Amino acid sequence: MTGFFESPEYLRYYTISIGHVEILKNDVIQSHYFHIPSKCNFMSKYMQKYILQDASIPSAKEKFQAFVIKTSIAKIEMNH
């Protein structure tokens, strides 16, 4: 018999609720995992594409600023 922590429901929940990014710092790739809030399930496909569309901005600072602005807009959408 399989335990709860090995069940498909448990694995599915953690597969969709944990995000992952890789950051290059001092010529070393660092993996970072983070919790994705459940309210993100209410984000439209359009908004998901909108947030990612300017991923080609060359400056890390400008890319981060654009991301913060876009996620603020997405938060408004998810709350309604």
pLDDT digits (tens, 9 = 90+) for 19-77: 888 888 899 999 999 998 887 877 888 888 888 776 667 787 888 888 888 888 888 87
Residue reference for tokens 């496909």: 45
| pLDDT attached to residue 55 | 61
Q: Does the pLDDT value for residue 1 go beyond 60?
A: no
| pLDDT attached to residue 67 | 82
Q: How far apart are CA 38 and CA 78, in angstroms?
A: 10
* Residue 66 CB partners (closer than 8 Å, separation 6+): 54, 57
